[in-house]
Amino acid sequence: MSEHNWWKNAVIYQIYPRSFSDSNKDGIGDLQGIISKLDYLENLGVGALWLSPVCRSPQDDNGYDISDYQDIDPMFGTLGDMENLIEEAKKRHIRIILDLVLNHSSDEHYWFQEAKKSRENPYHDFYVWRDGVEGTPPNQMRAAFGGSAWEWVPQVQQYYFHQFSVKQPDLNWENDRVRREIYDMIRWWVKKGIGGFRLDVIDQIAKEPDQGITVNGPKLHEFLRELSRETFQEGELVTVGETWGATTELAKCYSNPDHSELSMVFQFEHICLDQMEGKEKWDLAPLPFLKLKEVLSRWQRELYGKGWNSLFWDNHDLPRIVSRWGNDGAYRVESAKMLAILLHGMQGTPYIYQGEELGMTNIRYEIEDYRDIETLNMYRERLEKGYGKEEVMASIYAKSRDNARTPMQWNDGENAGFTEGKPWMKVNPNYKEINAESQVKDEDSVFSCYRKLIRLRKEYPVFVDGCFELLLEKDENVFAYTRTNQDSQLLVICNFYDQTLEYPLEQPDSSMRLLIGNYKDADQTRMLRPYEARMYFVEKKK
Ligand code: GLC
Ligand code: CA
């Protein structure tokens, strides 16, 4: 693997810093906490850590509202701690990926503080302002976290545009001074030794609010190419864009191997399948399994040789995959491993979200114990609209972002070993059963399965370059595929549900070596047991 493409056989681990590990007993995870867990991460085998935002922020949206891009929030530590982390990680061949929030800043950022002083202020144009129409907002656009997307500022007699909370005013990318400030800031981080960037809601930067356009604005790719040219071209940086609006066509532009834009993007087509058509994520629907196969294999096929996929089930905005599409009861371990094997056999760069490697699960708390602004706003809005409390809580149990944000479960001691203080958010009560300490020692744990998958990817080139083919397209229970290159083939076969099935393919023979599975004695049965997953390696005859 050339150094420039190191991310093609690496696995990236996402850390949600406030919930990862607390070093100073204030109940909030921090950079020193991360440093203290680097050996664990090295043992797992990951090549990079993407940290959700740690820059200075009033934390209205847990750091996705940045008030100083070139400083660390005191809650997480200091710039010195960050340098320390970069260095300590490097010793373990791990790179640090920063989360760049470039679509908006915090309203407490100096730029915005200036911008709202007067229309003549040199920073006014850093944001998106419009006059009202007879005392009402310029249009009906809504913010993602509820309410109008426009906020009135009496001082300047104008509304500013915010796609997220009122405390997250959108930056005006049309203004080249804004873009230059951003590029300077990024170059400053690159000099500090940062290994790459995750770009928050990057497909929303080219908004055109007068046209009602938020994602995929007409100038998006022009802006991205400039951003890339000015900042990302040097060195071995990995860049991954968060693009809720990506199609395979767009993803080929974003991740074109000519490097003119990004290394890859997160697409969400598969992740949005269990919601009602045209409705919000809170409107629950079952997962259409055949559709899941269709979507994932289409992305595999269409990006082959023309772009690069990122592979993920979980992140800090999504519920836990084992609770969502697996089984967090009797088959928690089996289904967590099945989902891992299914995803890690595909082409692309896999991402593991903290705790996913332990099979951590969703939570069911009282509303007082939730912290997420999106969840709390929705709860209030829906009750006002007349929804029943039970129905609203059911949506929260299934989809709240806080499902993924509970503290990391390190051991079976107090607060799961996350903090010696009072955790900022309640620990999932199942930590005595599900925790890192017990799983690291256990060869049959979910952790050990992830660890092995990461090693296999480094060992067998077919993980990186094999061409994907879906098998059993119409099978209602089994997800099976092959990956084929010049001299070998991977065969992955997964029972997605809890019924035992007849093995639906030709029986494996001696030319096939089982690389990994989630049951012992896999070779001796003609059945696929609940959530059974197997990955075989076949050497081609020369
Ligand atoms: C992205 C982040 C999410 C955040 C939003 C606004 O979707 O992943 O956590 O709330 O952008 O910055
Ligand atoms: Ca702390």
> Domain spans of the chain?
15-105+177-364+430-449, 110-161, 466-539
Contacts for 162 with CB less than 8 Å, ≥ 6 apart: 104, 143, 149, 150, 151, 168, 169, 170
Minimum-distance ligand 1 atom for the alpha carbon of 374: 10
Give 486 Cα–ligand 2 centroid separation in angstroms: 50
Residue 204 in tokens: 């929303």
201 pocket-lining for ligand 1 (C-beta < 6 Å): yes
- Residue 110 CB: number of other CB atoms within 10 A? 13
Six token digits for residue 129: 């302002």
Q: What is the CATH number of domain 466-539?
A: 2.60.40.1180
C-alpha distances in angstroms, 300 versus 248, 450, 468, 469?
Answer: 9, 21, 6, 8
User: Atom 12 (ligand 1): residue with closest C-alpha?
Assistant: 64
Q: What is the model's pLDDT at position 526?
A: 87
Q: What angle is formed at CA 109 by the lines to CA 121 and CA 166, rounded to 5 degrees?
A: 95
Backbone angles phi, psi at 309, to 5 degrees: -90, 150
For residue 82, the model assigns a pLDDT of 98
- pLDDT tens, 400-429? 999 999 999 999 999 999 999 999 999 999
Domain 15-105+177-364+430-449 fold is TIM Barrel (3.20.20)
Q: What's the 56 CA to ligand 1 centre distance in angstroms? A: 16
| CATH code, 110-161 | 3.90.400.10
- Which stretch of DSSP H or E encloses residue 448? helix 446-459
Q: Which single residue is written with the structure tokens 């800090």?
A: 316
- Phi and psi (nearest 5°) for 225? -65, -35
Task: Quote the tokens at residue 394.
Answer: 């059911």
pLDDT of residue 1: 61
- What is the pLDDT at residue 542? 66
pLDDT digits (tens, 9 = 90+) for 257-303: 998 999 999 999 999 999 998 999 999 999 999 999 999 999 999 99
Q: What is the pTM of this model?
A: 0.97
Pocket probe mutation, ligand 1, options 57, 60, 61, max atoms within 8 Å of Cβ: 61
C-alpha dihedral over 217, 218, 220, 226, to 10 degrees? -150
